[in-house]
């Protein structure tokens, strides 16, 4: 079985700001991490590799800097990694990002299963996993919390609002997973050392057979109108609770003033 894991590099939340001029997120000086749910996606693939002798390839769409998350995945036990990087990819929305990842899966040729995180820390759209499935014409099961496989099909548990569902799914397919599914392993020292030497030459739009105008800003279906940080919450109002009747009246008056009751 050949499993592809899609991982995105995300900034550690503390240092993210919105650039007023460009409306883009600026992350200068912050640390970068593997998107947390993508660590679970990688762990799910590595667990299948342990039980089925599967091959695991990790893919990321990003700049040269995102090679670091690929090295981390290689250190944890992935067999191969591809950095999908090209000036033509800049400005890609979730639709175009899905298209690039699907093209890379198609180019690999022998992929049976794609596992994504359920959503990212920054973009947070949860569209890319289902988007890849749509471009590939494969079924997609989102929010998976358990995967078992005999190599030919999958037995899954999928979380939904009221509980969970048990499903059987034929391959090829795309899954998205969250933190409930597993606890990600750490990279071994040996793995880390080997990953440092990995050659991660960028895989370009041309190499994937994608015309530049079908990806990036030109190929995207969404246009960003405005982005703004969530306003900071004020300190609130402390109510002296020593006289419950007075305190209750104060709270009700305040709610009325704010037109909340
Ligand atoms: C108009 C517009 C312009 C944009 N321009 C840029 C830009 O120039 N540069 C930029 O970095 N972002 C840009 N973005 C953001 C970019 O589109 C998203 O980061 C990307 O589509 C992923 O969406 P998401 O973060 O919501 O992922 P989700 O859909 O929440 O992610 C779900 C899962 O998909 C996989 N996944 C998501 N993104 C990637 C990835 N990059 N590589 C591998 N796997 C992935 C992961 O497994 C992830 O857990 C732009 C967005 C818009 C709307």
- Cα separation, 247 vs 240, in Å, equals 6
How do residues 205-223 score in pLDDT, each as one tens digit?
999 999 999 999 999 999 8
Q: Helix axis angle, 189-196 relative to 67-76, nearest 10°?
A: 140
For the CA of 131, the closest atom of ligand 1 is 29
Nearest CA to ligand 1 atom 22: 94
Q: How confident is the model at residue 146 (pLDDT cuts 50, 70, 90)?
A: very high
Residues 153 and 240 in one domain: no
Nearest CA to ligand 1 atom 16: 93
Mean pLDDT of 113-131: 95
pLDDT of res. 161: 87
Residues 211 and 247 in one domain: no
| Cα–ligand 1 centroid distance for 95 (angstroms) | 9
Nearest to 6 by CA among 154, 139, 165, 130: 130
pLDDT of res. 15: 62
Is residue 58 situated within a structural domain?
yes
Residues 48 and 122 in one domain: yes
| Cα–ligand 1 centroid distance for 30 (angstroms) | 18
Which residue carries 């198609």 as its tokens?
A: 106
> What's the alpha-carbon Rg for the chain, to the nearest Å?
22
pLDDT of res. 226: 82
Residues 13 and 121 in one domain: yes
Residues 139 and 261 in one domain: no
How do residues 7-28 score in pLDDT, each as one tens digit?
999 987 656 677 777 777 776 6
Rounded to two decimals, the pTM is: 0.88
Residues 240 and 139 in one domain: no
| Cα–ligand 1 centroid distance for 237 (angstroms) | 39
pLDDT of res. 19: 76
E-strand spans in the chain? 2-6, 9-11, 17-18, 25-26, 32-34, 55-61, 80-84, 113-117, 140-149, 153-160, 163-170, 173-177
Is residue 148 situated within a structural domain?
yes
Is residue 187 situated within a structural domain?
yes
Residues 80 and 208 in one domain: yes
Residues 14 and 51 in one domain: yes
pLDDT of res. 14: 57
The pairing of beta strand 2-6 with beta strand 113-117: parallel
Percent of the chain beyond pLDDT 70? Answer: 96
The yes-or-no verdict on residue 29 having pLDDT over 60 is no
Is residue 83 situated within a structural domain?
yes
Q: How confident is the model at residue 165 (pLDDT cuts 50, 70, 90)?
A: very high
Residue 6 CB neighbour total at 10 angstroms: 28
Residues 139 and 240 in one domain: no
Is residue 197 situated within a structural domain?
yes
Is residue 231 situated within a structural domain?
no
How do residues 64-112 score in pLDDT, each as one tens digit?
989 999 999 999 999 999 999 999 999 999 999 999 999 999 999 999 9
Prior bond to 256 cis, omega within 30? Answer: no
We report the CATH number of the domain holding residue 206 as: 3.40.50.620
Please, what is the average pLDDT of the chain?
A: 92
Percent of the chain beyond pLDDT 90? Answer: 77
| Cα–ligand 1 centroid distance for 94 (angstroms) | 5
Tokens (6 digits) for 10? 């995300």
| Cα–ligand 1 centroid distance for 221 (angstroms) | 13
The count of domains in the chain is: 2
For the CA of 132, the closest atom of ligand 1 is 34
The yes-or-no verdict on residue 49 having pLDDT over 70 is yes
Residues 172 and 249 in one domain: no
Tokens (6 digits) for 117? 């995180």
Is residue 212 situated within a structural domain?
yes
pLDDT of res. 233: 81
Residues 31 and 112 in one domain: yes
Give the structural domain span for 187: 2-219
Is residue 188 situated within a structural domain?
yes
Residues 241 and 189 in one domain: no
Mean pLDDT of 123-146: 97
- Cα separation, 3 vs 57, in Å, equals 6
**Ligand 1 pocket at CB < 6 A:** 6-8, 35, 37-38, 41, 59-62, 90-94, 97, 101, 116-117, 119-120, 122-129, 220, 222-224
């Amino acid at each position: 079985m050949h499993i592809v894991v899609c991982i995105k590099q995300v900034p550690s939340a503390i240092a993210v700001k919105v650039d007023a001029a460009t409306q883009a997120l600026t992350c200068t000086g912050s640390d970068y991490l593997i998107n947390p749910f993508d660590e679970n996606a990688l762990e799910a693939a590595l667990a299948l590799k342990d039980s089925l002798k599967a091959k695991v390839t990790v893919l990321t769409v990003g700049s040269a800097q995102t090679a670091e998350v690929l090295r981390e995945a290689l250190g944890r036990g992935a067999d191969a990694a591809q950095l999908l990087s090209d000036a033509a990819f800049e400005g890609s929305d979730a639709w175009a990002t899905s298209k690039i990842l699907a093209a890379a899966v198609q180019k690999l040729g022998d992929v049976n299963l794609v596992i994504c995180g359920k959503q990212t820390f920054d973009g947070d759209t949860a569209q890319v996993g289902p988007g890849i499935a749509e471009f590939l014409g494969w079924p997609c099961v989102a929010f998976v919390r358990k995967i078992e496989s005999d190599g030919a099909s999958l037995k899954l548990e999928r979380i939904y609002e009221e509980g969970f569902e048990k499903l059987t799914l034929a391959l090829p397919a795309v899954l998205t997973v969250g933190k409930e599914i597993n606890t990600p392993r750490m990279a071994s020292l040996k793995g880390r050392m080997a990953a440092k030497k990995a050659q991660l030459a960028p895989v370009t739009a041309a190499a994937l057979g994608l015309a530049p105008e079908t990806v990036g800003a030109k190929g995207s279906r969404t246009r960003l109108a405005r982005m703004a940080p969530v306003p900071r919450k004020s300190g609130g109002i402390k109510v002296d609770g020593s006289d419950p009747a007075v305190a209750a009246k104060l709270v009700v008056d305040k709610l009325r003033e704010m037109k909340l009751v």
